[in-house]
Chain A
Amino acid sequence: MHDRKRTPALTAMALALCALAAGNVLGEQPYRERYPDAKIDPAKGVEGDVGFSDTIQYWRTEADLERNAGLADKPAEQWKLNWKHMDLDRIDLHPGHLAVDEGAALVKKLAARDPAFLTCLGEGSAEIKGKAAAYPKFDVALGRILTVEGRIEQCAKSVLGEDLPQGKPPNTKISVYFKSLSAGVPTKVDIGNTKVMEAYRRGEQSFYVRTGQLNMACASCHVPGSIMGHKLRGETPTTPFGDTAHYPTYRTPVGALESLQERFARCHNQMRTQPLKPGDPAYTDLEVFMTVLTNGYPISVPSAR
């Protein structure tokens, strides 16, 4: 008798608690407009561009780029090269190449203070060749996602007690050097890792959510049916696939090296959205999303754009 009375009361109380908890969670989610989901399949990596912008046929390989080099001189079609034709200019004069040497010198100097700096970068080995292609990755010991720039910052801090903040020249130069040692190695973010995929899904949300005074999302310019492929004042937005391979890059219009997350911040300024600092967890998740869309495409650092 007592049991029968208590059970509905308990159930009601449990339901009320659930509702309260749900209310709290929902209360933290403000109303946001979103750009329609382009339904990208992370398992396809860079090949997800097939049936998306369909421009990968022009820039998939160097042979494709050579064959379609003529598009570079056609204003309406140049965007189809996804600016990958810039990677064929293997001249060693632009400041991206200088950054490789400067980054190498910085690593040498820091490793001279404590060799553990290099073995931290190499995750237990002084050999860092080829390892940058697997970033961003989930670091089990630290319990968080690290980008190449995040790893550099973390190793400098933990081994040397030195601040090498992400988005600042010393960190970016070391990143250029680190990634140049993976030039030609296909990007291989581990999408089999649950934590990586959780970050991917958060980054995906950020890609579609409209932000800022102009009420635009990344997707407003970078999915089929959006501004992608159309003129936006003097520029033509391109596909997001394959884009992370050449970062950090030397940006000729800015006259400086630029990491991927600094580029996010510059995009946000153009979108009249409050930019975040490089290394911000939301930018790191967006980098995970973007880099999975480059999986399978070779790293191309140093580079210029």
Chain B
Amino acid sequence: MKRTLRMLAAVLMGLTFAGTAGAQGAAAPQTQKAPPDYSAFPCLSYTQPCGKVATRPPVSKALDGPLNGNAEKGKQLAQARNRGNCLACHVIPGGSQPGTRGLDLSHFGSSGRSDAEAYAMVWDMRTINPETLMPPFGTNEILNEQELRDVVAYLLSFR
């Protein structure tokens, strides 16, 4: 019975949500964004060009000059689902609904890693562990150079 009620609640919520989305869509169709285009990266198609795109090979990226990252900006990037989304896999201080598969980053800044090491890891973790599940944030342009420096500064601030 409890399950049934919970289910019913979920369905009603779903209907409400769908209704709201529909109403918004009707009122402001011009705000609907085009779906993101990921065709520069490999896809499963047998016929489209992305089906022939190769995996970008691992890149060992050396840190050029001092890190100069803005930890506050890094925090926004690390927590945003559509950007760094570090929380998807890692525990981060103050983050909600963290993932549990990746390393707990609660004290990452006390782990003895240099700026350059941390930077290289976020740029492309495959250079350290070829079987890693971590996306290559620099190589695949998920974050640009400065954004990546900001995220590294944020991660290294966890003492």
Contacts and interface: CB of A to CB of B under 8 A. Distances in A.
Interface of A: 28, 30-33, 36, 69, 72, 85-86, 88-89, 91, 93-95, 206, 209-216, 220, 226-227, 230-234, 250-256, 268-269, 272-276, 280-283, 286, 304
Contact of B41 (A93, A212, A231): A212
A281 B142 contact: no
Interface of B: 3-4, 7-8, 10-11, 13-15, 17-19, 21, 35-39, 41-46, 48, 50-57, 81, 85, 87-89, 97-101, 126, 131, 133, 135-136, 140-142
Interface of A is mostly: loop
A13 to B, nearest CB: 30
Interface of B is mostly: loop
B38 A213 contact: yes
Nearest to A72: B3
A217 to B, nearest CB: 9
**Top 6 nearest A-B pairs by Cβ distance?**
A255-B18, A30-B54, A252-B14, A230-B101, A274-B43, A255-B14
Given A252-B10, A255-B15, 10 more contacts: A32-B55, A94-B11, A95-B11, A95-B15, A212-B41, A233-B88, A252-B11, A253-B14, A256-B18, A276-B48
Contact of B44 (A30, A206, A232): A206
Given A85-B3, A234-B97, A211 B10 contact: no
Contacts of B45: 274, 276, 280, 282
Contacts of A213: 38, 41, 135, 140-142
12 contacts: A30-B54, A31-B57, A94-B8, A209-B44, A214-B135, A226-B133, A250-B11, A254-B18, A255-B21, A269-B36, A273-B44, A276-B44
